[in-house]
Structure 1
Amino acid sequence: MSTEPETTEDAEPGTPGADSTPGPADRAGTGEADTGQEPAAEGGDAGAGQTSDAESTEAVTEQAPGAQSAEAGAGQTSDAESAEAGAGQVSEAEAELRAQQAERERIEQRKAEKKAPIESGTKLSGKAADLLAAVRAVESGEKPVATVFEEPRPAARRSAPEPERRPRPMAPEPVASPAAPAPEAVQAVRQVLAEGGAPEALAPQITAVLGEGADEQLRADPWQLLRIPGVRPEQADGFARALLGAECGPDDERRGRALTGWLLEQAALAGHTALEMPALLAALAQRGVPEPDSAVRDAIAEGEALVFQDALEVKAGAPARSDEEGAEEDEERPVRVLVGLERYALAEESLADGLARLVNSVPKQDGSAEDWERAAAAAQGSTAELIRAVAGQGLVLHTGGEASLAEPAALLNAARSLGLRAWAATHGPIGRNRFAALLRRSGQAADVSERADETPAEYPVATVSGLLAGLEGPGRDADGALDLDLLVVLDAPQLDVEAAALLTESLPDGARLVLAGDPAVLWSVGPGRVFADLLAARICPQVASRRPDPGPLGELVSGIGIGELNQVEAPGKEVVIVPVRDAGEAVHRTVQLVVDSVPRAIGVPAEETQVITPGHGGAVGTRALNAALKERLNPGPGRFGGFDPGDRIVHSPVPGRALQGRVVTADGEGLHLSCEGETVVVPRERVEQSVRHGWALTAHQAVGSRWPAVVVVLPGDAAQALSRPWVYTAFGRADRHLSVVHGVEQALARAVAEIPAKPRTTRLPVLLAPQVSGA
């Protein structure tokens, strides 16, 4: 690892430092946390939408230790709003959203079928017992009253149902874009907003969210404003005071109910699928709700939240009990009470059912046992282990770094040689094209030609979003299932519960699923920690790759993964550190590295060098760095909504997804982009919200991709937010060279050694346990 002197202006690439994700601790520094949730727009924070990402989850994270900072900027859009309008043809974002909507309708239908009483909770008391009684009252069709919150009668314990095959979601049909809200409806909402002193620009969003009679709903319940992404509780309170006058108060049940939903939404942005009851009640109290338990009861009664009781595991080494004592122990087994949004709760249940079906079923017999064994014998080490595991199991987990991708590639080729319809799916287009190139280098699949001019599209590789939307991959069969026998999902840590549920439920009976990825990288932007939960649950075979990532970069990143920041020998300047003293110097040195030092000393041009920084805001965030890099690499007036042809961009069609590309041109249809060889047209009204300049990205935007050279920028004000997964992810995006603009001093080593991933509250392990045979 080499270090250049601070006084050298025209020096070679400098030193690796550390990268971080800003959280509540550095609100005054970087401003916006790197979660990947923030939309790509730079100017979407206006009026009621103004908020910093760290602040948007403050109430939840302070009461629920481990809650991860999440972005909730005013520019952040809902799934429905993220669909791109197409002229006679559905866009990728819209197709993906329609597929997700089909899945949600399916799991809602499934919820309606579950009428059995809640399994546990007979030994609860106090607020938890009150909430359980409220749920039972709702299930019986009654509105809870004071007498409901007495001691609940014992409920019969329901045995876990056997996994059953339910109708699978069909690929969405190309349809016209949803009609915009009627102008008169928008105008009526705009008038209500004006009366309450809220930005009238929110009118189209509110009309779309609330639907018919939106103006009357908003006037009757001003706190409905909190349903719009980016609106803060204090802003909704001010709006309510202006409309209601003396009738407005902190004890208004409408306020408590709305704040309960808002806090659960913030928890989902932070990665949780549910919140523990004490954390939710404490967060409501912090927001000035005088009776938090009543607010939660109201939210449950109105169907705006669901309550769950999960039995806690008995501590290992507990003394054995007699039969009579054991029966009493079962009755008094402690539980934790959780509250969550229906959308994520039902997706997690659907995912558990789908995974249980894979684990408990016998894979389709494609190829004899002898054929599979011959394929395994032709491989070596952990590759052979992977092939043998897949031969006899419906669900297999595979872990490893970048070098380990050769093993899923060998599996895919072996499976196709045996006649299986085998496909791979990656997190994004860059990962898809890289894996297709790996397939070409490692040996052609049985049905893929060996022409030298093959494109990645001719390989059995798709993106997860394209696969689910029906825009990539093998398509679906007559039953609506994916038309394949084996699916290998790479970048598995990036799967949230909704995408994972849709994938598992889309697999046909007898299919095999392999989830592969690096468990040390940042988790998904959406709620859940699917891959980590499955690794911990140990319900299926796990194959750990024994292929280390090569060279000084591989040595450095591997050490970070186990909590060690090692100084590595880098004779070819594979790793360099550039110390800086302040934000201005950090921006200057970053531009110098990209434009001059890395191309001259390493031979990697500027267009193949990626800058990664902790957040979007602040003096060294993506906005500041992109402005400086554009000035040097592609200066222009920004005549297309701030962009010029040739600008490097990142397009976010839906929150949590980032497509890198370049601006081609603009016309009446919108901004024309080229993203990894694919043409994307972003409508003019969506450009500000979904497109950013892309010379500099956050680590969440960069995950799943790699570049020949990477410059990681670590400003001093991000020191308190550094974590091991962020550093591991940022440093691991480099193929040949890593420069680190280092301004955090010893905070980097402390973060790598002492700050692991923040925990997320999920229910997947509890849901899996009773459904998997032998669990």
Structure 2
Amino acid sequence: MSTEPATTGTDEPGGRGDTPPSDTPDDAAAGGAPEGSAGAADSDPEAGDGQAGDGTGEGGSADADHADDAGGAGAGAGAGAAASEVSEAQAELTAQRLERERIERRKAEKKAPITSGAKLSGTAADLLAAVRAVEGGRKPTATAFDEPDPTPRRPAREPVRRAQPMAPPAGAAAPSGETVEAVRAVLAEGGAPEALVPQVAEALGAGAGARLREDPWQLLRVPGVRPEQADGFARALLGAECGPDDERRGRAITVWLLEQAAVAGHTALEAPALVTALGLRSVPDPDEAVQSTVAEGEALVFQDALDDAPSAPRSASAAAPAASDAGSDADGEGEGDEAEEERPVRVLIGLERYALAEESLADGLARVMNSLPKEDPTDWASAAASAPRSAGELIRAVAGHGLVLHTGGEAARAEPAALVTAARQLGLRAYAATHSADGRRHFASRLASAGGRDTAEGDDTAVTTLAGLLSGAEGPGRDVDGALDLDLLVVLDAPQLDVETAALLAESLPDGARLVLSGDPGVLWSAGPGRVFADLLAARACPQVASRTPDPGPIGELVSGIGIGELNQVEAPGKEVVIVPVRDAGEAVHRTAQLVVDSVPRAFGIPAEQVQVITPGHGGAAGTRALNAALKERLNPGPGRSGGFDPGDRVAHSPAPGRTTPGRVVKADAEGLHLECAGVAVVVPKERVEQTVRHGWALTAHQAVGHRWPAAVVVLPGDAAQALTRPWVYTAFGRAERHLSVVHGVDQALPRAVAEIPPKPRTTRLPALLKAQVPSAD
């Protein structure tokens, strides 16, 4: 690797503004408010910009330190006494729904709520007995949601983004004036800021005021509200009746912790981790809190067989909750069968939303794998024979299977491009979907290079974004049954699939369609909960084609080494890779601005607008705020009259969690802020600007996933050392096409991260669900 190209410039660091730091959740990883992605804080969507939270800069959630790591993958559904054609997980969900209905009827009859989980019976009691039974099993690790301690923050000029909910879906009814006024009155009585009124009304819906007065801890359902804030509100509202042992508080904090786990990427938590987290949140009886939450139907319990543990004799007291209390042993069979072997299990607690998504995804993928027609007239053999060798293997795999996984780096995208081209030439309706508009543009170019003919038919093109495909705004549209009107779909950037998006995708495929998930397994995982691509690779339930096409040049060599845990010094005769050592964050900001404005454009002929800065977090002395302030001052100074923005500013627009599109400000008027993003005109209403638009000269690595630029400047300030993981470094360095500069201030933390710090684990149920649905391809 080379040293920095010749540079000149002043010593003014720039960008060290005076805006005070904020503790709002877009700056705190577990706060729950996305900054261009699902619940990510200063270090972005995965609550730290490195799998489930690398937490750097000003973020670093204190909450993350209050629970144990749920880690690991997989969790099976409970063993249900269902019919043989119904999966165990489906039976478990059905049993739990029936139990909740029974509980509701019993509560209505007695006209009194269940207190502290008392008087539970049947499946709910059995399930919670299982929770306690495994308490003495596997020990939780130090933290629940994989967040490091928060790093010190320093001020920056870019306005701090406050936590605000995403806009309601189109067609959603706005809260009535009566509801809003009732909420305003209750919030005022409890001393909560009036700014929360619309958020509370939207989160709690009709009757929000009465619900909040009856249960003040419902305030935790508003994104960004923390337990200590809800406790203060409850004390003001309830007075002496408020206490840490209040059952309502235990339930609310249980649900809140599960939501924070989802922000960090988990779809469920192991019971010991959740119980520990509740204890650290001053819940006196965590078991009862979990019990009450399950009884109220606000969380579900699942069991997952531990494949790597030896079987143990089954005992009646530790039996899995496999049936309702209505006559599970009515015929006397199985009673006292102490000698029966039982496989050890772990107990998982999760929110219904993600449980149903994983169920639906497993079912949908099983359908895709099993619905290919027995006789296929398509001449796949000739297509494979005429394709390049690397692409031929992929075509042959697709010929015989409904679901295929394809792995490889940027250069390996030529193989799915050859597949789509060949399929279209065979007369199939073949499409590709990418994570970003920039990825769409790059893949369309590859498709043209692969010999693809013009596929335009009106607005119908062979390459779409995944969001555009699912919404119907791009691609083939849907048939009369509501399924996507296609025969083959290749999804690029597959590691960015969260469990809910993947479930919607699987549900949208017609019977007989083929699905190829293609991506680089070394990059950061999805912003939303789940690790779909990694889980599928681990499950080995379908063919996997690993590309042998390496990324070219010194940057490709460097990134390939990082992928296997080696930070190699590569030969870069054309200064394709440059290391710029710095002593502190102030120097890092100064040298970064110098590289973007002067050195890279002069040495490599790459304009400043094609140079992207990537840093671990939004906060901190060299986070995106400080860097964007410095770069705006050098490249587009202005007063920022339009919500902090001026025409010509580079921005990052995040219309939905996990999706960030780089763009540029065109103008601002009464309609809102006018942007140009990936060649498309976008108008962001004034009330949405603060939530969805940031300056974009500097991004986090997770915001940059799915995009590439001619040059990238990766900034590693000293306070970012704890945020670094191998996937973060791999992702950030891989965003550069022609030139990579590394502003290096973390000493040995960089090689240590590459060699020793793998992706942070996420707890998911998908592997176990797939195992129950589909036999291993091995």
Normalising by structure 2, we get a TM-score of 0.80
- The answer to whether the aligner puts 1:347 opposite 2:357 as a matched pair is yes
Question: Given that residues 10 and 597 in structure 1 are in contact (C-alpha distance below 8 angstroms), is that contact kept between their aligned partners in structure 2?
Answer: no
Per-residue CA deviations over 1:595-628 (Å, capped at 9, x if unaligned) read 0000000111000010000001111111111111
Note the aligned Cα RMSD (angstroms).
3.4
Residue 417 of structure 1: how far off its partner (Å): 0.3
Per-residue CA deviations over 1:298-334 (Å, capped at 9, x if unaligned) read 111111111111112155999xxxxx9xx98874111
Select the residue among 444, 447, 463 that pairs with 1:439.
447
- The answer to whether the aligner puts 1:545 opposite 2:550 as a matched pair is no
Matched position secondary structure for 1:765? helix
Matches within 5 A, 1:248-259: 248-259=242-253
Residue 657 of structure 1: how far off its partner (Å): 1.3
Question: Given that residues 410 and 551 in structure 2 are in contact (C-alpha distance below 8 angstroms), is that contact kept between their aligned partners in structure 1?
Answer: yes
Residue 646 of structure 1: how far off its partner (Å): 1.1
Partner AA of 1:346 in structure 2? L
Matched position secondary structure for 1:769? helix
Task: Quote the residue 1:305 is aligned against.
Answer: 299
Select the residue among 696, 704, 719 that pairs with 1:702.
704
Select the residue among 380, 390, 393 that pairs with 1:382.
390
- CA distance in 2 between counterparts of 1:670 and 1:179 reads 22
- CA distance in 2 between counterparts of 1:425 and 1:329 reads 53
Task: Quote the residue 1:565 is aligned against.
Answer: 567
Residue 458 of structure 1: how far off its partner (Å): 6.5
Partner AA of 1:232 in structure 2? R
Task: Quote the residue 1:677 is aligned against.
Answer: 679
Task: Quote the residue 1:244 is aligned against.
Answer: 238
Gaps of 5+ in 1: 12-26, 46-50, 69-110, 121-128, 155-173, 319-323, 450-454
Matches within 5 A, 1:751-766: 751-766=753-768
Partner AA of 2:439 in structure 1? G
Task: Quote the residue 2:741 is aligned against.
Answer: 739
- The answer to whether the aligner puts 1:220 opposite 2:214 as a matched pair is yes
Residue 221 of structure 1: how far off its partner (Å): 0.7
Task: Quote the residue 2:77 is aligned against.
Answer: none
Task: Quote the residue 1:190 is aligned against.
Answer: 184
Select the residue among 494, 497, 501 that pairs with 2:496.
494
Task: Quote the residue 2:371 is aligned against.
Answer: 361
Residue 361 of structure 1: how far off its partner (Å): 2.5
Matches within 5 A, 1:150-549: 177-314=171-308, 331-363=341-373, 367-368=377-378, 371-445=379-453, 447=455, 459-549=461-551
Per-residue CA deviations over 1:717-755 (Å, capped at 9, x if unaligned) read 111221000000000000000001100001100000000
Partner AA of 1:379 in structure 2? A
Matched position secondary structure for 1:479? coil
Residue 565 of structure 1: how far off its partner (Å): 0.1
Question: Given that residues 540 and 776 in structure 2 are in contact (C-alpha distance below 8 angstroms), is that contact kept between their aligned partners in structure 1?
Answer: no
Per-residue CA deviations over 1:57-116 (Å, capped at 9, x if unaligned) read 4156x4125499xxxxxxxxxxxxxxxxxxxxxxxxxxxxxxxxxxxxxxxxxx9x9999
Task: Quote the residue 2:61 is aligned against.
Answer: 55
- Distance change (3 Å), C-alpha of 1:203 and 1:31: closer
Partner AA of 2:69 in structure 1? A
Question: Given that residues 7 and 598 in structure 2 are in contact (C-alpha distance below 8 angstroms), is that contact kept between their aligned partners in structure 1?
Answer: no
Partner AA of 1:749 in structure 2? P
Residue 679 of structure 1: how far off its partner (Å): 1.3
Question: Given that residues 32 and 615 in structure 1 are in contact (C-alpha distance below 8 angstroms), is that contact kept between their aligned partners in structure 2?
Answer: no
Task: Quote the residue 2:614 is aligned against.
Answer: 612
- Distance change (3 Å), C-alpha of 1:393 and 1:133: closer
- CA distance in 2 between counterparts of 1:191 and 1:485 reads 56
Question: Given that residues 382 and 543 in structure 1 are in contact (C-alpha distance below 8 angstroms), is that contact kept between their aligned partners in structure 2?
Answer: no
Per-residue CA deviations over 1:653-689 (Å, capped at 9, x if unaligned) read 1222111111111222111111101111111111111
Task: Quote the residue 1:2 is aligned against.
Answer: 2
Task: Quote the residue 1:92 is aligned against.
Answer: none
Question: Given that residues 350 and 501 in structure 1 are in contact (C-alpha distance below 8 angstroms), is that contact kept between their aligned partners in structure 2?
Answer: yes
Residue 132 of structure 1: how far off its partner (Å): 13
Question: Given that residues 70 and 270 in structure 2 are in contact (C-alpha distance below 8 angstroms), is that contact kept between their aligned partners in structure 1?
Answer: no
Question: Given that residues 32 and 263 in structure 2 are in contact (C-alpha distance below 8 angstroms), is that contact kept between their aligned partners in structure 1?
Answer: no
- The answer to whether the aligner puts 1:595 opposite 2:601 as a matched pair is no
Question: Given that residues 31 and 260 in structure 2 are in contact (C-alpha distance below 8 angstroms), is that contact kept between their aligned partners in structure 1?
Answer: no
- CA distance in 2 between counterparts of 1:118 and 1:677 reads 47
Normalising by structure 1, we get a TM-score of 0.80
Question: Given that residues 352 and 768 in structure 1 are in contact (C-alpha distance below 8 angstroms), is that contact kept between their aligned partners in structure 2?
Answer: yes
Residue 581 of structure 1: how far off its partner (Å): 0.6
Question: Given that residues 137 and 148 in structure 1 are in contact (C-alpha distance below 8 angstroms), is that contact kept between their aligned partners in structure 2?
Answer: no
Gaps of 5+ in 2: 11-22, 42-56, 74-79, 108-113, 128-167, 313-333
- Distance change (3 Å), C-alpha of 1:66 and 1:416: same
- CA distance in 2 between counterparts of 1:309 and 1:357 reads 24
Question: Given that residues 496 and 527 in structure 1 are in contact (C-alpha distance below 8 angstroms), is that contact kept between their aligned partners in structure 2?
Answer: yes
Task: Quote the residue 1:87 is aligned against.
Answer: none
| Aligned residue-pair number | 664
Question: Given that residues 33 and 615 in structure 1 are in contact (C-alpha distance below 8 angstroms), is that contact kept between their aligned partners in structure 2?
Answer: no
- CA distance in 1 between counterparts of 2:726 and 2:340 reads 40
Matched position secondary structure for 1:725? helix
- The answer to whether the aligner puts 1:580 opposite 2:590 as a matched pair is no
- Distance change (3 Å), C-alpha of 1:756 and 1:338: same
Matched position secondary structure for 2:773? coil
- CA distance in 2 between counterparts of 1:377 and 1:653 reads 43
Partner AA of 1:353 in structure 2? D
Question: Given that residues 460 and 475 in structure 2 are in contact (C-alpha distance below 8 angstroms), is that contact kept between their aligned partners in structure 1?
Answer: no
Task: Quote the residue 2:654 is aligned against.
Answer: 652
Question: Given that residues 535 and 767 in structure 2 are in contact (C-alpha distance below 8 angstroms), is that contact kept between their aligned partners in structure 1?
Answer: yes
- CA distance in 2 between counterparts of 1:744 and 1:350 reads 43
Partner AA of 2:2 in structure 1? S
Question: Given that residues 36 and 656 in structure 1 are in contact (C-alpha distance below 8 angstroms), is that contact kept between their aligned partners in structure 2?
Answer: no
- Distance change (3 Å), C-alpha of 1:665 and 1:603: same
- CA distance in 1 between counterparts of 2:261 and 2:601 reads 43
- CA distance in 2 between counterparts of 1:328 and 1:435 reads 60
Question: Given that residues 359 and 539 in structure 1 are in contact (C-alpha distance below 8 angstroms), is that contact kept between their aligned partners in structure 2?
Answer: no
Question: Given that residues 57 and 270 in structure 1 are in contact (C-alpha distance below 8 angstroms), is that contact kept between their aligned partners in structure 2?
Answer: no
- CA distance in 1 between counterparts of 2:654 and 2:450 reads 32
- CA distance in 1 between counterparts of 2:32 and 2:173 reads 29
- Distance change (3 Å), C-alpha of 1:195 and 1:139: closer
Matched position secondary structure for 2:432? strand
Question: Given that residues 35 and 525 in structure 1 are in contact (C-alpha distance below 8 angstroms), is that contact kept between their aligned partners in structure 2?
Answer: no
Partner AA of 1:3 in structure 2? T
Greater per-residue helix proportion: 1
Task: Quote the residue 1:39 is aligned against.
Answer: 35
Q: Identify which range, 374-383 or 278-287, moves more after superposition.
A: 374-383
Matched position secondary structure for 1:513? strand
- Distance change (3 Å), C-alpha of 1:448 and 1:317: farther
Select the residue among 642, 645, 650 that pairs with 1:643.
645
